[in-house]
Chain A
Amino acid sequence: MLNRTAENAARATPEPLARKVRGISDKGLAWLFISPTILLLLAINIFPLFWAIYLSFTNYRANRSNEVVKNLGFANYQRILGDQDVWIAMQTTAHFVFWTILLQTVIGFTLAWLIDRKFRGHAFWTTIILVPMMLSPAVVGNFWRFLYQPQTGLFNYIVAFFTGVPPSSFEMLGSVQLAPWAIVIVDTWMWTPYVMLICLAGLRSIPEYIYEAAEVDRASNWRQFWSITLPMALPFIMLAVLFRGIENFKMFDMVNLLTGGGPGSTTEVASITLKRQAFESWRTGYSSAFAIILFVAVFGLANIYVKALNKVKQR
């Protein structure tokens, strides 16, 4: 039946076209099919990357297209690596990435472990827990801004209720000490479900018979957790950490909406600095160099991490 359809299709193909197609090898045909995608990727991913690399060696400014573009060599890179503000932004980013990943992994794994117990109504609670992840970061940023409002925000009132501290006596987004943690809290609230989901998949992939064998060997619950659950779920946990690490390294939207990098430059993560240089100060060459440095850093760290992940998987 299938052969007859193919024959009919071949017969229906105009002769000149059929002759042309007949002359193409399987490999050629494969290239023909994937070439539109490759061209698209080249146009929107690869070309901009190489263009940014080129611009990073120049003094180009997108708002001064009339000016002569000069080659600066590595001057932009030297300037960025010697700029104290850039290093402060990198430290802020590192702080943000470290704490969000730590909290999301611990809480996410704990939630996954609890959900995996399959208690009554666990499906309902799983759905509820997943809700924050489904929201748009713009929505999350805006409503947490209201929640953190020192005079009318719910967050301050809840803290006041439990601690007795007056609600308007502290500012989550306006205080130098609290603002970085305010962002960590929101990101953890939003993305812990994502980590939980991946960990849950890991936990569900552990065969039941291993636990049964452990029971036969009279291994305690604690021993089972350390010797079976954690090692077998570890590749999944590491995968979640990788995804969240890459995502948070380039975090922009939520920080921009919550604090805009402030107060002062307290929460100015690298992506905010980059945006300011590129689209507010219009230092296109400089910001291209900064983007390349960030790209190399993330790419390098991710590669090292993936190698570690593969080692864990092979154990």
Chain B
Amino acid sequence: MKSSLKLTLGLASAITASTAASSVAHAEDLTLCWAAWDPANALVELSKDFTKQTNIGMKFEFVPWTNYADRFLNELNSHGKLCDLIIGDSQWIGGAAENGHYVKLNDFFDKEKISMDDFVPATVLGYSEWPKNTPNYWALPAMADAVGWTYRKDWFSKPELQTEFKAKYGRDLAPPKTYDELKDIAKFFQGRDIDGKKVYGAYIFTERGSEGITMGVTNVLYDYGFQYENPKKPYDMKGFVNSADAVKGLEFYKDLYKCCTAPGMTDAYMSEGLDAFKSGQVAMQMNWFAFFPGLYKDPNVGGDKIGFFPNPAGPDAHFTQLGGQGISVVSYSDHKDAALKYIKWFAQPAVQQKWWEIGGYSALKAVVEAPSFPKSAPFAPDFLASMQMVKDFWAEPSYATLLQAMQKRVHDFVVADQGTAQEALDSLVKDWTATFQDDGKI
């Protein structure tokens, strides 16, 4: 009797528990794959609204940046079903489109009246289109981003430093407008004692393994006149990649690295930059706008102590490296319809507005071109200015090979002191030419 009572109670509890569980279970769950960083946490918060509205649960697969490309490109190449939605890097678009990893979204956009004209043109070109400059869309711009700079406003405003700087350089100590000015300021701060601590001039990207040094050096190269190819003849790179101006740009990046960075920054990317800035080590930091909301909130270096400026101009041009990603539906997913529902939901102006407010970067014109936008955050005007002058790395299906070649050639010259800038860029032209020949494009 006792045992049958126990059995009855056990069964009753199990049934109650399963009923309770089913009340929080969702019709289906979607898995969204992205990099592990601050905006991803904001997206988790944002997506709770989607679940509330649709009863579709959201799971997230976030991978650190250093393994992000390896992990998710492997997943796509093996036709894995882990990700229903993926926020993939801008350079993946060519390969993902040509290899059938992403669902083409044109029909869906037409049906749901989602217009790419409503998004910032640079983001549509960078994150959604393949082939470039054609109306073939494989992603919805999800996270607009570009390289920008932070600086220590509190150090810049110290009267004694302002006086000394003006005496030395004949101008005010203010955020630089050109790379020459940036170098002067970096030299000025390099090795200086501030508040009893030795500080350094600038933090720039030097990472070798993934994309770091390329994403850093291109900011200078573009401004010095580097071009990926002859605008009139695709894949003709000689004299554009390794032009005399591009060589000067590469030499400048190396000079900046040698004169004005902290010791040990030989393999440093986003997180090392954030650490260097947050620990009060550097006066200026190159990094992605995506991190700026978090830095602004930092109790030690944020608030009044931090300032922002867009990538400075060079002698020939004024560009900045495009970052950011679009959101795509993975063609191997078993939940494509639900994934498309998410994209439809995400594209709504109200959702995009909230996305910006909680730490994401919207690419929707209605958000970023609103009159109130520049005053919505201290870095908003610089972000807006940067998005008007972005340029991206190759987005070809062979982008990974092209990227690795550039990582090697630039790192060998800048960090490892091997060869000259001219040799590095000449070798790069050879590497890239061989890659495009392998692809049958030349």
| A283 / chain B contacts, CB cutoff of 8 Å | 401
Say whether B404 contacts A281, CB under 8 Å.
yes
B400 contacts chain A at the CB level, 8 A cutoff: yes
Question: Are B99 and A262 in contact, with the CB atoms below 8 A?
Answer: no
Measured CA separation A275–B262 after assembly (Å): 30
Contacts A260-B267, A262-B416 given; indicate if A63 touches B404 (C-beta within 8 A). no
Interface membership of A168, Cβ < 8 A: yes
Does A65 interact with chain B (Cβ within 8 Å)? Answer: yes
A165 within 8 Å of B (CB atoms): no
Structural contact, B400 and A280, CB atoms closer than 8 A: yes
Q: In the assembled complex, which residues on chain B have CB atoms less than 8 Å from the CB atom of A280?
A: 69-70, 400-401, 404
- CB neighbours (8 Å) of A265 from chain B are 408, 411-412, 416, 418
Q: Chain B residues near A54 (CB, 8 Å)?
A: none
A217 to B363, CA, bound (A): 91
Say yes or no: is B264 at the interface (Cβ < 8 Å to chain A).
yes
A-B residue pairs, 9 tightest by C-beta = A264-B416, A174-B266, A264-B412, A281-B401, A262-B208, A263-B416, A260-B209, A150-B264, A63-B77
Q: A260-B208, A262-B266 are in contact. List 19 more A-B contacts (CB 8 A).
A: A63-B99, A64-B98, A64-B397, A66-B100, A151-B264, A174-B264, A174-B415, A176-B418, A260-B209, A261-B209, A263-B266, A264-B412, A265-B411, A265-B416, A280-B69, A280-B400, A281-B404, A282-B77, A283-B401
Whether B400 and A65, one on each chain, are in contact in the complex, defined by CB atoms closer than 8 angstroms, is no
12 A-B pairs (CB sep. < 8 Å): A63-B77, A149-B264, A151-B262, A171-B264, A176-B418, A259-B267, A264-B208, A265-B416, A265-B418, A266-B416, A280-B70, A280-B401
For residue A65, which residues in chain B have a CB less than 8 angstroms away from its CB? 77, 79, 99
Closest Cβ of chain A to B95, distance in Å, is: 7
- The reply to whether A276 and B208 contact each other, CB–CB distance below 8 Å, is no
**Does B299 touch A at the CB level, under 8 Å?**
no
Residues of A246-265 contacting chain B, CB below 8 A: 259-265
Q: How far is the CA of A68 from the CA of B433 in the complex (A)?
A: 21
Chain A interfacial positions (CB closer than 8 Å to B):
59, 62-66, 85, 149-151, 168-169, 171, 173-174, 176, 259-266, 276, 279-283
Whether a CB of chain A sits under 8 angstroms from the CB of B170 is no
Give, as a whole number of angstroms, the nearest-CB distance from A143 to chain B: 16
The yes or no answer to B112 lying at the interface (CB within 8 A) is no
- The complex places the Cα of A265 from the Cα of B427 at a distance, in Å, of 14
Q: Tell me whether B263 and A151 are in contact (CB under 8 A).
A: yes
Interface string of B408-435 (1 = CB under 8 A from A): 1001110111100000000000000000
Q: How far is the CA of A99 from the CA of B196 in the complex (A)?
A: 43
- Per the bound structure, the CA–CA distance linking A281 and B210 in Å amounts to 11
**Closest chain B residue to A259 by CB distance?**
B267
Q: A168 vs B264: C-alpha distance in the bound complex, in angstroms? A: 8
Q: Identify the interface centre among B76, B98, B209: most chain A CB within 10 Å of its CB.
A: B209
Give the residues in chain A near B74, CB-CB below 8 Å. 279
**A171–B404 CA distance with the chains assembled, in angstroms:** 25
B415–A262 touching, CB < 8 Å? yes
What 0/1 pattern do residues 201 to 233 of B give for CB contact below 8 A with A? 000000011000000000000000000000000
Chain B residues with CB below 8 A from A174, complex form: 263-267, 415
Q: Report which B residues bind A (CB closer than 8 A).
A: 69-70, 73-74, 76-77, 79, 95, 98-100, 208-209, 262-267, 397, 400-401, 404, 408, 411-413, 415-418, 438
* Contact of A261 with B77 at beta-carbon distance under 8 Å, contacts A168-B263, A171-B264 already known: no
- B residues in contact with A171, CB < 8 Å: 263-264, 266
Do B411 and A264 touch (CB < 8 A)?
yes
The CA-CA distance from A169 to B73 in the complex, in Å, is 40
Q: Is the CB–CB distance between B263 and A263 below 8 Å?
A: no
Residues of the B chain whose Cβ atoms lie less than 8 Å from the Cβ of A173: 264, 266-267
Expressed in whole angstroms, the Cα–Cα distance for A171 and B268 within the complex equals: 14
Are B263 and A150 interface neighbours, CB within 8 A?
Answer: yes
Which residues of chain B have C-beta atoms less than 8 A from A264's C-beta?
208, 408, 411-413, 415-418
CA–CA, A118 to B77, complex, Å? Answer: 58
Chain A residue nearest to B66 (CB atoms) is A260
When the two chains form the complex, which single residue of B263, B411, B417 contacts A262, counting CB atoms closer than 8 Å? B411
A174 to B261, CA, bound (A): 13
| B95 in contact with A63 (CB, 8 Å) | yes
Whether B415 contacts A263 by the Cβ 8 Å rule is: yes
- Kindly state the separation between the CA atoms of A77 and B400 in the bound complex, as whole angstroms: 22
Residues of A with C-beta under 8 A to B416: 176, 262-266
With a 10 A CB-CB cut-off, give which of A59, A85, A259, A263 has the most chain B CB atoms.
A263
Complex CA–CA separation, A260 to B207 (angstroms): 9
Measured between alpha carbons, how far is A279 from B264 in the docked complex, in Å? 28
- CA–CA, A240 to B263, complex, Å? 38
With a cutoff of 8 Å between Cβ atoms, the chain A residues found around residue B263 in the complex are: 150-151, 168-169, 171, 174
Bound together, the chains give a CA A150 to CA B264 distance in angstroms of 6
Known pairs A150-B264, A262-B208, A279-B70; A176 contacts B99 (CB<8 A): no
- The minimal Cβ–Cβ distance linking A267 to chain B, given in whole angstroms, is 10
* Chain A residues whose CB sits within 8 angstroms of the CB of B411 once the complex forms: 262-265
> Residues of B contacting A151 with CB < 8 Å?
262-264
Contact A276 B404, beta carbon cutoff 8 Å:
yes
Contacts of B208 in A (CB 8 A): 260-264
Enumerate chain B residues within 8 angstroms of A262, measured Cβ to Cβ: 208-209, 266-267, 411, 415-416
Q: How far is the CA of A279 from the CA of B267 in the complex (A)?
A: 20
The residues of B that contact A64 with a CB separation of less than 8 Å are: 95, 98-99, 397
Contacts of A149 in B (CB 8 A): 264
| Closest A residue, CB atoms, query B435 | A281
Are A63 and B267 in contact, with the CB atoms below 8 A? no
CB pair A62–B77 under 8 Å, yes or no, is yes
Nearest neighbor of B100 in chain A, beta-carbon distance: A66
Complex: A70 Cα to B35 Cα, angstroms: 35
Docked complex Cα distance between A262 and B265 (Å)? 12
Docked pose: A177 CA to B227 CA in angstroms: 34
Q: Which residues of B contact A282 (CB under 8 A)?
A: 73, 77, 400-401
